[in-house]
């Protein structure tokens, strides 16, 4: 078993594609109209067409797809520059803050109200026992 990627549902694929491409700077690898695959495995799918594919019917919904139960995480080498570029154009959850684990991040909503976190790159330590016997 191997996890590949999350695929958030979006209301307006063109608006969301433009947001992730132009505002976040993600590169599109494939654009199939109602499905867009970006580099690093991130993808978006137009919601009603994916609902039709999965459940054989589209749901009538008035609320946004984002439900405050999923966080899309990205990293950026220059967090301050990313914040300056993105913050004026989004609804911020909070500005840059240092987290308990030491990483600086900021969070905001995409056009479908999915929560997004952008953090400075972290150096991960190997799992297991860190001391020598």
CATH number reported for the structural domain that contains residue 61 in this entry: 3.10.180.10
Q: Considering the domain boundaries, does residue 96 fall inside one?
A: yes
Which residues of the chain register pLDDT less than 50? 130-133
Q: Sheet containing 115-119: which strands, arranged edge to edge? A: 71-75, 115-119, 104-109, 91-98
Q: Are 108 and 93 in contact (CB under 8 A)?
A: yes
Written as six digits, the tokens of 22 are 């132009």
pLDDT at residue 22, rounded to an integer:
96
Q: Which domain holds residue 65?
A: 9-119
Q: Considering the domain boundaries, does residue 106 fall inside one?
A: yes
Mind listing the pLDDT tens digit for each residue in 28-65? Answer: 999 999 999 999 899 999 999 999 999 999 888 788 89
For residues 58 and 51, give the distance between their C-alpha atoms in angstroms, rounded to a whole number.
5
pLDDT at residue 69, rounded to an integer:
86
pLDDT at residue 8, rounded to an integer:
95
Q: Considering the domain boundaries, does residue 114 fall inside one?
A: yes
Q: Considering the domain boundaries, does residue 124 fall inside one?
A: no
Q: Considering the domain boundaries, does residue 87 fall inside one?
A: yes
For residues 79 and 124, give the distance between their C-alpha atoms in angstroms, rounded to a whole number.
18
Written as six digits, the tokens of 8 are 């958030």
pTM: 0.85
pLDDT at residue 128, rounded to an integer:
59
Between CA 17 and CA 122, with CA 8 as vertex, the angle to 5 degrees is 90
Q: Considering the domain boundaries, does residue 82 fall inside one?
A: yes
């Amino acid at each position: 078993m191997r996890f590949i990627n999350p695929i958030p549902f979006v209301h307006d694929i063109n608006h969301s594609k433009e947001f992730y491409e132009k505002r976040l700077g993600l590169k599109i690898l494939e654009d199939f109209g109602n499905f867009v695959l970006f580099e690093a495995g991130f993808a978006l799918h137009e919601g009603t067409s994916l609902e039709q594919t999965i459940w054989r019917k589209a749901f009538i919904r008035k609320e946004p797809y984002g439900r405050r139960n999923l966080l899309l995480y990205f990293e950026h080498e220059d967090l301050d520059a990313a914040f300056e570029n993105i913050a004026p154009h989004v609804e911020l959850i909070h500005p840059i803050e240092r987290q308990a684990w030491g990483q600086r991040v900021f969070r905001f909503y995409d056009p479908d109200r999915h929560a997004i976190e952008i953090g400075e790159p972290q150096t991960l330590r190997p799992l297991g026992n860190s001391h020598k016997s």
